[in-house]
Structure 1
Amino acid sequence: MKLGGYLLFCLLLSPMTVTADEYDFDIKGMHAFIDFRIQHLGFSWMSGRFNRFSGRFSYDESNPAASDVSVTIETGSVDTNHAERDKHLRGEAYLDAKEFPKATFISTSFTENADGTAILIGDFTLRGISKPLEIAVTPVGHGYDPWTGYRRGFVGEAQFKLTDYGISISMLGEKSNDVYLTLSVEGIRD
């Protein structure tokens, strides 16, 4: 009994390290999406998505500011449900997927609000140009799935200008400069 009490005493006195939970985007289960929309000449909306991407995030409920996110998008996977337009978007005038096959986002800060929403800020790199990007984050939910895994989901929304990344909009008009990006992410805890 003395040994058990001593071990318990040592355990209570030892420094305990709590780390953030690490999550991988659920790409295989198709529970993560990167969608975008942009005005077409100011007359209608054109929507699309990226079919190939990967990412990770960490989230620490006791210290949300320590959370981080990294995303890699394969630019050649752009899909607007129109093969000819997709080919054009992959070309030099827009994504230039041959020269710049990946776009990335690496977070630099995460600020959670009292209601659970958050502002995620990081460096977004597209066509070799890096700029700060602010993403408004809304939690969706978290918990154990039926297969004994633990999942956490968020939706993030951001807006950026094509011209900030060296993409000319001269043919499209000013209303086509703004890209509205939505990241729907479900992560599986490691």
Structure 2
Amino acid sequence: MKKSLISGLAFAGLLATTAPVQAADYAIDTKGAHAFVSFRVSHLGTSWLLGRFNKFDGDFSYDSANPDASVVNVEIDTTSVDSNHAERDKHIRGADFLDVSKYPTATFNSTSFKSNGNGTAKMTGDLTLHGVTKTITIDVSKVGEGEDPWGGYRAGFSGTTEIKMKDFGINYNLGPLSETVYMDLQVEGIRK
């Protein structure tokens, strides 16, 4: 589950649409709590288990005139997984799932960005989770961009993707309805 979150954070920050900004580099605003990597997994087909990663960092490059040149890199601290339940989080951090003692970080590095021309895009990149690297695609939507009240400039994106835990070597059987992890990413970057 955490793996998908990580990838979700990275790709959301990169995506872009059309805005009057020159190519620029952005730091993902994790210190100001304006970026989130969250996930959900079906619980027995009757409800959703929700969680997030509290610690991650990354940056992206974005040019509204040429969004297809966007690049994003994200690193997630898998030990920071938080599902609002201490015992469950301990299990998720253990060998059945994230095995954080062996794999304390997850990373996402974009390899391509394809704008749809309507403020949405598909970002493809490599997600490394649980020691396994797989190519994933993130559906990205630009939220907006502009000057902030403190003299800076910001750009924000939302992203969604889904991953199969078994694709990353996580084989703990929670039933067929729980094999897929859905990731929701909210990324706000501050121009460097």
Within 2, Cα distance between the matches of 1:29 and 1:88?
29
Distance 1:58 1:113 in 2: 18
How far does the alpha carbon of each residue in 1:54-77 deviate from its partner, in whole angstroms, 9 at most, with x for none?
A: 010110122211110111100000
Which amino acid is the alignment partner of residue 134 of structure 1? Answer: T
Task: Give distance in 2, aligned partners of 1:188 and 1:69.
Answer: 14
Q: Structure 1: which 4+ aligned runs deviate by more than 6 Å?
A: none
Q: Which residue of 1 aligns with 2:179?
A: 177
Report which of the two structures shows the higher radius of gyration computed on alpha carbons: 1
1:5-24 equivalence runs, <5 A:
20-24=23-27
Q: Structure 2: how far apart are the matches of 1:42 and 1:98?
A: 30
Distance across 2 between alignment mates of 1:61 and 1:19? 7
- What one-letter code is carried by the residue in structure 2 that aligns with 1:78? V
Paired position in structure 2 for 1:25 = 28
Distance in 1 (CA, whole Å) between partners of 2:143 and 2:71 is 17
**Number of matched pairs:** 172
TM-score of the superposed pair, with normalisation by structure 1 = 0.88
The alpha-carbon deviation at position 19 of structure 1 amounts to: 6.7
- Say yes or no: does 1:82 pair with 2:85: yes
**Structure 1: any 5+ residue segments left out of the alignment?**
1-17
Identity within the alignment, %: 56
Amino acid at match of 1:115: N
RMSD: 1.2
Tell me what 2:157 maps to.
154
Please, which of 126, 144, 151 is the counterpart of residue 141 of structure 1? 144
1:61 pairs, out of 64, 71, 75, with: 64
- The answer as to whether partners of 2:96 and 2:172 remain within 8 angstroms in 1 is no
Report which structure shows greater RCO (CA 8 Å, sep ≥6): 2
Equivalent pair of 1:19/1:60 in contact (CA under 8 Å): yes
Worse-superposed segment, 54-63 or 118-127: 54-63
| TM-score, normalised via structure 2 length | 0.87
Q: Give ranges in structure 2 of 5+ residues lacking alignment.
A: 1-20
Secondary structure (helix, strand or coil) at the match of 1:164 reads helix
Which residue pairs with 1:107 in the alignment? 110
- How far apart, in 2, do the equivalents of 1:96 and 1:124 lie? 16
1:71 aligns with 74
What is the one-letter code of the residue matched to 1:189? Answer: R
* Amino acid paired to 1:73: I
Residue number in structure 1 paired with 2:54? 51
- Give the residue type in structure 2 aligned to 1:179: V
